[in-house]
Amino acid sequence: MMILSTFGLKITKATSSYRSRLIVEAYKNWLKKGDKVLDIGCGNGITTQFLKEYFRIDIEGCDIKNYLVYKIPFKKIVNDQLPYTSRIFNTALLNDVLHHIPKEAQEQLINQAINIADKVLIFEAEPTFMGKIADILLNKFHYGDLLIPLTFRNTENWQELFKKLGLKSKTIKLERPFLYPFSHIAFKLQKV
């Protein structure tokens, strides 16, 4: 588990809970009570815990390192491979994860996710200058050693990728709150 100072944990919870409310808004019609959900790249688990309580879902997390500040079921991602091989989830989540990995790996991760879940939900920031700066600063604060290659895509680029992968998608563009540095988009992916 990740160790933060009391002050650092309070800041982390404040920034993560604000973002979690935006994710709830994006997923409100896509997640249902009792769904079995995998949060891929769950990070500190604050959003994972928030979604668990809000939607009353059965959720577990996986990531390349255990950064959790909440006790949730967790498995480590090793050698870029998800720790699951069969379709055991209703939903796989990729919340602000994909821009932290190279574009080639984004395709691989989405393919792995759609093979273990009936649908994949993606919550990503659109590529803006302020968003990139804020992402670097927040991730350095929250995780320290997290890679931040900033491999953002705009909505059209994401949709082209989903089409290439043979997936049908629904898109939501969220309103950017005043003084909030990110513009977010969300996608629901399913096999055709």
CB half-sphere exposure, 166, CA atoms < 13 A: 5
Torsion region of 18: left, alpha or beta (phi above 0 gives left; psi -120 to 50 gives alpha): alpha
Percent of all residues in the chain with a pLDDT value above 90, rounded to a whole number: 60
10 versus 166: the higher-pLDDT residue is 166
Per-residue pLDDT tens over the stretch 51-83:
999 999 999 999 999 989 899 999 999 999 999
47 versus 14: the higher-pLDDT residue is 47
Helices 6-27 and 46-55, interaxial angle, to 10°?
A: 50
The per-residue pLDDT of the chain, averaged, comes to 86
pLDDT of 1 reads 43
Per-residue pLDDT tens over the stretch 103-135:
999 999 999 999 999 999 999 988 776 666 666
Helices (H), the chain: 6-27, 46-55, 103-116, 129-143, 155-164
Longest CA–CA separation in the chain, Å: 47
How far from each other are the two terminal CA atoms of the chain, in whole angstroms?
Answer: 39
pTM for the full model? 0.86
Percent of all residues in the chain with a pLDDT value above 70, rounded to a whole number: 78
Among 3.20.20.140, 3.40.50.150, 3.20.20.70, 1.10.3720.10, name the CATH number for the domain at 6-191. 3.40.50.150
* Pair 12, 142: CB distance under 8 Å: yes
The pLDDT-based confidence of 12 (bands split at 50, 70, 90) is low
How far, in Å, are 19, 31, 92, 113, 119 from residue 89 at the CA level?
24, 12, 7, 9, 9
